[in-house]
Amino acid sequence: MLSVERINKTFGGLTALFDVSFLVEKGSITGIIGPNGAGKTTLFNVISGTYLPTAGTIHFKGQDITRIRSDRICRMGISRTYQNAKPFEALSVLQNVLVGVCFGRDQRYDGKKARSEAMDILGFLNLQAQAEVSADQLSPLNKKRLELARALATQPELLLLDEIAAGLIPSETLKMMETIRQIRAEGVTIIMIEHIMKAVMDLSDTVIVLHHGMKIAEGDPKEVSSDPKVIEAYLGEEEA
């Protein structure tokens, strides 16, 4: 579904990504981990069209999307969440999701059908009772759910989740993990950045590790978690 080929991204003299390549299979969950500053969110920004790569190419379902605008990439079927939820705070929860339904897809909907689809998404994420609540009044957990609802409203084939469990208590994290499994069961391919290792290891088919902008490991969760290079990146040379 996704092919990332030798992606580089520099900001002036700073290299944020260096020669990063990987493939994502349709229907899979790919976890991306690494210490803070490893380049994980920069990679999402490049895939989603927020940043143009300095070098390299990205193909989505065989089509080169390397230099396509982010709004067009969204309508092609790639949607994302942000580590810090970014709702339209002056709008209601329902209105936030309606933005995705009405403007994040190739086809446009009339008001009645769009509202029905938006409410279905809110129901899936247990937000229907907050539909008319202003987005800025939500709890941290519900802001995370709304962030996910806005992304799902665009009907993505590939969903990029940037620390969707960050800031949640353990019981909330388990609920979010089950939600991610349900989204995958609906046929959505997922790439997730996450620092909560239980979520990454339990959900991912493949784990990719970035460190200083480079891919240092890739494989199944058990294999990656025992890789000395990964242990060194997280815990230091002595532990490795």
According to the model, what pLDDT value does residue 30 have? 98
According to the model, what pLDDT value does residue 167 have? 85
Strands 29-33 and 158-162: unpaired
Residue 13, phi then psi, degrees to nearest 5: -90, 0
Nearest partner of 114 among 127, 124, 103, 125, judged by Cα:
103
According to the model, what pLDDT value does residue 233 have? 84
List, in order, residues 6 or more apart from 86 with CB less than 8 Å away. Answer: 147
Angle of helix 140-152 versus helix 93-103 axis, rounded to 10: 20
Q: What's this model's pTM, rounded to 2 decimal places?
A: 0.93
According to the model, what pLDDT value does residue 109 have? 72
According to the model, what pLDDT value does residue 238 have? 58
According to the model, what pLDDT value does residue 239 have? 54
Domains of the chain listed by start with CATH number = 1-77+160-240 (3.40.50.300), 86-155 (no CATH)
As a whole number of angstroms, the longest Cα–Cα distance in the chain is: 61
According to the model, what pLDDT value does residue 115 have? 94
Residues of the chain with pLDDT under 50: 240
